[in-house]
Structure 1
């Protein structure tokens, strides 16, 4: 198993993010059309992708960029905040156990460094690999969010998962 680590975004990663904005194969199931390929450079200049409301870290496997993890703030009642996390892996790194480990590492990191009680993640019903990854990363299935995403010309459902601060952490060396 290759060594896995999360690290801050560096300037050398901007080309990867620009590719992610315009290459459907890099994105996979969540492709929602072409995006501004210059936006990553502007965001990097703004805060290095480490903002108070939304952030990204690079996922490295064996010293190579395998993808990224991200998180953004959410709230159900305007006072109790939670994080929603996401992941994007390059096609050649999918199916190797990197996704669940990176998401478990990110969740532990966020619980260690921020005061949130809840971290959640959503995925598409057809993304069975991500559903398995979230369960393996210690998340619990909560239910279906109906017609919450417009993608490929239609409104689509999503599945919601969460992990609470009181839930046990998982060992990533499995």
Structure 2
């Protein structure tokens, strides 16, 4: 019988600092209520509010694959010791020229969890997780020019600003520019 070695460190699962732990975990059925809130409560998601959406969609997607698809998915951002679901991170695969795979990530935190250093840690964890479990060389994230908090969060998570994507989003009755950030596999993790 083989002896057990030291515990294995799992990239992108948890980060502990200052007495609290930010953890990424798969979506569970009770989390669907939070997803429905993001779809039906104006302003809850901040600048990303794009009108009312199908409140039944989260349950259908959860039944399909638990939000752990091959090309896209979501993980819950959990804060311990409270064991509270603070929000979620998402990832979507893409490809440049059909041969260079990348991930695009996003985050949505409930208002009471914003501004507490949770977002940058969750996004850094997600990058570490995706780099550990896929061959992608690049992870990118977009944000709004007026979302200064998310810009700081992305930079703390190891991302660099690449530039402006002009008129990429229709929001609040107008076409709006976005900022594109990226983190490469060889960039150091801040965790």
Same fold (TM over 0.5): yes
Return the alpha-carbon distance in structure 2 between the equivalents of residues 48 and 26 of structure 1: 23
RMSD value over aligned CA atoms?
0.7
Q: Does 1:95 align with 2:124?
A: no
Q: Counterpart in 2 of 1:81?
A: 101
What do residues 47-74 of structure 1 show as CA deviations (whole Å, max 9, x unaligned)? 0000011100000112101000000011
**Quick check: which one's helix share is greater?**
1
Q: Which structure has the larger Rg over C-alpha atoms? A: 2
User: Which of 145, 148, 151 is equivalent to 2:165?
Assistant: 145
Q: Which residue of 2 aligns with 1:69?
A: 89
> Size of the alignment, in residue pairs?
171
Which residue in 2 is equivalent to 1:125? 145
Work out the CA distance in 1 between the residues paired with 2:170 and 2:95. Answer: 21
Residue 12 of structure 1 is matched in structure 2 by: 30
Q: Does the aligned pair in 2 maintain the 1:25–1:91 contact within 8 Å? A: no
Distance 1:54 1:137 in 2: 20
Once the two structures are TM-superposed, the CA of residue 3 in structure 1 deviates from its matched residue by 1.4
Gaps of 5+ in 1: none
Q: Which runs of 4+ in 1 moved over 6 A?
A: none
Distance 2:180 2:22 in 1: 26
Instruction: Confirm whether residue 166 of structure 1 aligns to residue 183 of structure 2.
Output: no
Q: Distance between the aligned counterparts of 1:103 and 1:24, measured in 2?
A: 24
TM-score by length of 1: 0.96
**Per-residue deviation, 1:75:** 1.6
Q: Which runs of 5+ in 2 are unaligned?
A: 1-17
